[in-house]
Structure 1
């Protein structure tokens, strides 16, 4: 019995030893790990952005372009790759300011359509994006409409369609396209960006800011977040809040790989804050990295506001050179060149501006921006009554903002209506007194010359009220 008990004890001890040893082996033996997928490379990041119509970094786009070019050498009939290549060229040209990418994009898209002439919604969508980059919203609308007719359930065709309708001033069509996009289960970031741009046009800045704030929170890339922060900066600037705008632009610079649009915004904010020396330096840095004529024009006006006439004229010459260079690549430059000549040209240049901006107003449909520029050129050419009539039309079509208020005030002052002029200049100061360095100086000078309103109430100051022949349309309510 004693022997059996001893043997049983030895057996239990051995079993416990094996269990303990096994546990030790399990602890010491490396456990299998769940494989972590590698982060997408630059080409894959750019491909995802191009296919969803969201912002992509210029370096990533360059990587994607190189990959597609190599692929197409071996597969020259791959219509989808040609369409991706065209979209990547168009986006890179926009982000870098190098309009030489636009003819490359056009050739790639023509190759895609040659390989698949029918039903090629992807190439048509990219063609609409290219037309927007070339500042031709009418052509963009035509291509995007074809794309959504071919594939109405394919959501990537709708963001360029919305932007094209915005460029044509067709708010109703843009809103309808946005609602269709919402119903197609597009990525939330895509819908938020599209909604923010449309709401900004409508003057619903708080709604636009709310959508961009959601993009900042849900951004899937640094480029998306940086673009949303930059647009939030632009909204703050339009509300006359340069300090807040500066914060948003600095945030965009911290997170985004492409710096130059945010740098230009930072320069505008610095100029509004009176930090002119810094603003000049930052404008130069922005233009060096992204040489678009818009930056040269803004820098020229800053120089002019500081009394540096020679430097201003040099910048205006650069604007004309860059517009000509972009024109060779298919970019419409009439709106910018006409604006430059109307504001800063001699009598002959102002006459040319009227012709240029008349053509732009026709090409851009009901765009309040184009109509405002045309009306201002008419005023600068001495056709004050025609300008006044056109401004009344522009106001009905949604013209708003500090620059629009300033233009209307100058027309009213020229027509001998000091009350309307005073209200218009005051609106500039309320909405955005920093709309541009030159406008701010002029508005304050004009209000000083006008002085305080005459006593006696509005009938004395503005004349008797005129009876309304028809009710004014009610403003559209802001969406909840």
Structure 2
């Protein structure tokens, strides 16, 4: 499943389809602000459209410092720059630029309100993101981007019905790549993988830049990977890399495929390139657990140390990611911290990701009876998630619920036999211990 890292961007790179005219109804009938970044001319790499855009906006603001629209555009560009670069120091810059825009035009400034919603989502402040998006819609209900921001917020808050409706509204207003990619995620969550793929193919047909092409190829590849199709996943990731060589997101996908195929040296090299270019906590955690699966404990510990530093940097710039912290703590044998982080996350949002984190944290603390209720919540959607099914099966096994454990462990491996280099073998070993059953 795709998660929070994708839900930051305002435009074509936003992550989360269903053009009503093209593929039918979506689900069918059934604190304080930083000062604005000083505006100064800056050289932008010739091959970096986002850097050129930021530099151009800064240059224009030298002459038009009271232009609220330019400040809103700059703020949105900073949010996108944080996503692309994995540099959270862009978030205070975005906050300052957007506050400046609202200071110049307090009423009717839906662009700044929408960008503030995207910024809040990027910082994992999803309730605030939804609030900013709704304020933007009060100003301009035809602003399709604000519906995308609202969809991103609601899916993270666990309001799946509301998120589906927001995506549909976005499609009705402006069917295109941002709407189609969001709808593909919605369809995947609801178990409609074929339609999710069709939606991404529609998005791909509307991709006019190499970056947009690579973006679509990544999600087509990831959709194939989560369904256990390594051949198709590898093809999509490689095709995306032909459009944008060395793209870290595509390299991460490629690393997963290499790891699943048992090509260890190549997988390690690919992960090294990923975390060097984009040291996001999710990528660092994935790489560390892969190293752990290979028995490279010292190397894994080094990556966990880098992960700690990365999380501290994000937290210093207003991003609180207790979900990742809970999973990391559970993995590293710190059940007390795992439960604390998971509880903080659950207080903020009740989606399947937070439920799974609660389940696994409680399991790590030996509190399996409590964990089971959250594991059931985590697996409530129609779209199967191999990791969530594995967690549920392991919890049931600890509770002596052998038949249920077999069902969910088998389902995890049937969904994606390569879901985790570390945990997929543990799922198979658990099934061997449980036996075939009746």
TM-score, length basis structure 2: 0.88
Identify the match of residue 140 of structure 1 among 101, 124, 129.
129
Distance in 1, Cα, partners of 2:215 & 2:224 = 14
- Match of 1:437, SS state, is coil
Equivalences for residues 359-370 of structure 1 within 5 A: 359-364=344-349, 366-370=350-354
1:290 aligns with 2:278: yes
1:55 aligns with 2:13: yes
What is the CA-CA distance between 1:256 and the residue it aligns to?
Answer: 2.5
Q: Which runs of 5+ in 2 are unaligned?
A: 1-7, 15-44
Query: How far, CA to CA, are the matches of 1:104 and 1:115 in structure 2?
Result: 17
Distance 2:82 2:226 in 1: 27
Deviation at residue 392 of structure 1 after TM alignment: 2.8
Where do residues 361-380 of structure 1 align in structure 2 (5 Å cutoff)? 361-364=346-349, 366-380=350-364
For these two proteins, the number of residue pairs brought into alignment is: 400
Distance 1:261 1:403 in 2: 20
Q: Is 1:219 equivalent to 2:219 in the alignment?
A: no
Q: String of CA shifts for 1:116-148, please: whole Å, max 9, x gaps.
A: 111210001111111222233222111111111
- 1:444 aligned residue (425, 428, 431): 428
2:408 pairs with 1:424: yes
| 2:226 matched residue in structure 1 | 238
Partner of 2:239: 251
Q: Matches of 1:438 and 1:427 in 2, distance apart?
A: 17
Decide which of 326, 337, 358 is 2:343's aligned counterpart.
358
Change (3 A) 1:371 1:53: same
What SS does structure 2 have at the residue aligned with 1:183?
helix
Correspondence for 1:106 = 95
Counterpart for residue 86 of structure 1: 75
Q: Is the 8 A contact 1:403 1:428 kept in 2?
A: yes
**Is 1:401 matched with 2:385?**
yes
CA drift of 1:358 comes to 0.8
Cα offset, 1:187, TM superposition: 4.2
> What secondary structure does 1:330 align onto?
coil
Match of 1:261 among 231, 249, 253: 249
Comparing 213-222 with 309-318, greater Cα deviation is found at: 213-222
Q: 1:169 & 1:245 partners in 2: Cα distance?
A: 28
- The Cα shift of 1:398 comes to 5.9
Q: 1:321 aligns with which of 309, 322, 325?
A: 309
Partner of 2:375: 391
Q: CA RMSD in A?
A: 1.9
- Deviation >4 Å, runs of 4+: none
Map 1:191-202 → 2, pairs under 5 A: 191-202=179-190
Q: For the pair shown, which has the larger CA radius of gyration, 1 or 2? A: 1
Greater Cα offset, 80-89 or 396-405: 396-405
Moved more, 393-402 or 141-150: 393-402
Alpha-carbon offset, residue 183 of structure 1:
2.5
Larger RCO of the pair (alpha carbons < 8 Å, separation 6+): 2
Distance 1:394 1:443 in 2: 18
Q: If the length of structure 1 is used for normalisation, what is the TM-score?
A: 0.80
Gaps of 5+ in 1: 1-49, 455-480
Instruction: Summarize deviations over 1:349-398 as a string: whole Å, max 9, x none.
Output: 2111101111111212x210111111110111111111112223334466
The residue that corresponds to 1:173 in the other structure is 162
Indicate conservation of the 8 Å contact 1:369/1:399, yes or no.
Answer: no
Q: From the superposition, tell whether residues 140 and 257 of structure 1 become closer, same or farther in structure 2 (CA, over 3 Å).
A: farther
> Retained in 2: the 8 A contact 1:368–1:398?
no
Provide the C-alpha distance between the structure 1 equivalents of 2:128 and 2:237, rounded to a whole number of angstroms.
Answer: 32
Could you tell me how far apart the structure 2 residues matched to 1:167 and 1:313 are?
A: 30
CA drift at 1:182: 2.6
The structural deviation recorded for 1:76 is 1.5
Deviation at 1:298, TM superposition (A): 1.0
Change (3 A) 1:177 1:343: same
Look up the match of 1:279.
267
